[in-house]
Structure 1
């Protein structure tokens, strides 16, 4: 009958026999000389019958006139029973006509080993998932496939890949390649230029000189360090940023991209907005938003407010578009997430006037809904 128990422990023993014997002799001695020592319920035959002991594995090595080796018993009993069985086997002093000696080497907890394997595999899964997943799942992937390729163009005589926003933006993000630009577009940044290799194109230097701020955002590997050093010898870099160690910019999730760029973005927005006057409408929007921000932040939820700043609903972002299709009277929509095209389309259908979120993706806003970030309103 095959062994069907769940192995908890491996009892490992070594043995020496003063004579030449075979594997079957060792197994016979283990079963025969422990029988009756600990009572009928602890006979190895009985324990095997009830799937408490698995098949005993014996390794054998012979010399001219001795035999030695190891024996392994897989057991699904408690540790006390394991210890008793091990002690009983250690009491064996004969294999056939020959003197012998058994010694317990270890009792390994198989579950502990499995736990280590599970934790190690979980770390691998987490790493793989975190580098390949994107915020808001299928919606943003759809945006990438259908819309982001149209947001990439080229710059200069060498046709360096760039996002279309670099020409109008007051600041620029220098990355290593086209895939990095796509990933930044997913996170809502359309002002990236790819340097395409360690040899820096001279046109990059000229173009960066026209910008108020230059941010270098490079891979977290050794090559990224070399490229950064070369880039700094050609271009005046205001802010140096790197992907997480061992990762490339293209592998980061949109949320991680935003986290890394957060401080740089905040500084730049403060510089560009400080000389401007805040409109009365923005003051009212900031006031309404600040009242719900603390309870909303880091919840992945959204809140709808009416014209009197009364809360109409609070739902998970994953349910927001469906909620907008049935809700009326919303003036302010405030969410702990990214303002995407799909969300904006749903808001247009509901007559929403203002949307506030952490970031704004590349959207077409022909209906004039006012889009703001918490940073622009001075809330974060």
Structure 2
């Protein structure tokens, strides 16, 4: 199994007494830490490779005691026991998630000890494009399951050889499944309960992929089973298959899944991560986190599904209407007329000091500062921390950069993004080092679009999350314009809603 091996998983079932999206839960938790220590925030543990990611799945809304509730689950793979305790404390101490106080939500936290080599996120099976565990392509046998979350949960139980047939698309994937099974010495189907499981079993039997001996049914969805329940259902046949194929048993066979309060009854003391080479053992947790060598991963995390460009969700700024444009022109006219008459009209919030000083320091990659040409965020009190600067986690989306094509264009898993107000006419040579340093290819970024498009591309503001510690305060759009690394594309001033924001006015809108 390649990449980082995560020996623990934190499973969380959450319940909110108010409407909430899974992305809001994830983004809010990412910026929580122990005792306000920024370096213990989960986003920094993620960037350091201590945790793999926070995977969130929202369930449909329901009712409890006659009142609506919104439920879901999270799964967080963690490197070792010490960091697992740290992550658990962050979750257990959470007194507010998103905009909701502690009395508005409940968290049921369970700790999973992963046997064998540990777990990691699902990857793709060779050229078939099906989700699978990281060991499935090389294993002599495989476990067929329904979906991506089934694969992830099987990994937490120590089975890294699961392959998802994507239940709703099983008919279209049956040829791929047949070919994959033909490569293996043994095949086991592990299916959930209910009518979907019955349909999947029938289809697999019809194509002679499984039979009575090689099909197991669970009482509920596989993704919801505990590690003990998984081993109880398939442990004996897994041992038999591996014995028949001559596969050596792993030396580490310890597995369990228990409630947090049973594993660590007292989390009053902040958990300290293990000491790394050259790190002071008396240093606070944040110093130890900063001293970590970054882990490498076998695959990239799946990006949350992005809404199509132009589709506004509640809370997102709608496109400027003609009425809004006319109102804006009226305000500008009155402002100009007042200045013409000699009145002193201060613009509140437009007087501040430059916020960038020196190079970016990448906490997750030791070895010295980044090139001097790249600006860094100064979050001191003297820096500019205006209301337009930080991303509003209620209105932004998360995606991953697939390609940096030019100074004002980036291909992402959500589609091509045109950086709002940034002119690409100056060529890629000036501002590209800043983009490549702050938003490297493959990194996660937040983006906000007000629905405006350019040649089918989303016009958006983008915040780079990987290279800035904590919540990024300034968008890459603003950095490029403020530092003179790119020119202003003035048509966007009127075509998008971003032209009225302070950083845009500073740039010349």
* Shorter-normalised TM range: 0.3 to 0.5
TM-score, normalising length from structure 2? 0.27
Structure showing greater relative contact order (alpha-carbon pairs closer than 8 Å, 6 or more residues apart): 2
Task: Please identify the structure whose Cα radius of gyration is greater.
Answer: 1
TM-score, normalising length from structure 1? 0.35
